[in-house]
Amino acid sequence: MKKMLMCGLAALSLLGAGCVFSRNDYVEIVEFDLELPKRAENAPAVRIGVFKNLSGADRRFLLRQGDGQVVSLEYQRWRLAPELLLMRCIFGALDIGPDRDVKLPRLSAVIYRFEFDKRDDKAHLSVDFFMPDFRDPASAGKASQPHPVTIRCDAAVPVKKSGDMAAARAAAMSECARLAVEKLSAEMNAKTVRKADKK
């Protein structure tokens, strides 16, 4: 009887210790979104095409540590995948026309870098935007555009030192996205892309 009682007490002690360790080991997952850029008055009109993500980043924050090593931060995450986050920024900043309007350029993108670099404490965003060149008279107004142009956007923004590094990283990447969309809008306007037909 005494042995059974001792075994029971030992089991309860182990169970209690396990509960304590479990509580201490718990880390809450925090999720972030990119802040949407403000819509410009002269926002160019586009149709949305395919956005691809070749950066290696998924919803988890990607941290580059040097010597080719990258780490996905399990408890710091984006609300959406990088390509969807960037697409939402485009929807907020540009004039999105109807898909049936073939005279509007179809904007596509490939993300090559969407990460935080521990070596320089910066957020990095590298993306190529692709669209038809409407300066070419042979391609204007056609559904199939034979002369696409590439708009390269590379942004690097310092991550401010903060007690909440996850929020600071998200804010830095939001600024990267704002800079990329700002450059895209300016270069598209320079290419004389017409406004979307509101009818």
| Chain segment 111-168, per-residue pLDDT in tens | 999 999 999 999 999 999 998 765 554 554 454 555 678 999 999 999 999 889 999 9
For residue 21, being part of any structural domain is answered with no
CA distance 68 to 119: 12
CATH assignment of the domain containing 124 = 3.40.50
For residue 74, being part of any structural domain is answered with yes
φ, ψ (nearest 5 deg) of residue 133: -95, 105
Average pLDDT over residues 56-60: 96
Q: In this predicted structure, what is the pLDDT of residue 180?
A: 96
Query: Is the backbone of residue 69 left (phi > 0), alpha (psi -120 to 50) or beta?
Result: beta
Domain hosting residue 150, numbered range:
44-190
Give pTM, 2 decimals: 0.78
For residue 30, being part of any structural domain is answered with no
For residue 22, being part of any structural domain is answered with no
For residue 7, being part of any structural domain is answered with no
Residue whose structure tokens are 């040097």: 66
Percentage of residues of the chain with pLDDT beyond 90: 54
For residue 5, being part of any structural domain is answered with no
| Chain segment 75-124, per-residue pLDDT in tens | 999 999 999 999 999 999 998 888 888 888 889 999 999 999 999 999 99
Question: In the predicted model, what is the mean pLDDT of the chain?
Answer: 83
Q: Using pLDDT thresholds of 50, 70 and 90, give the confidence band for residue 54.
A: very high
Inform me whether the pLDDT recorded for 198 exceeds 60: no
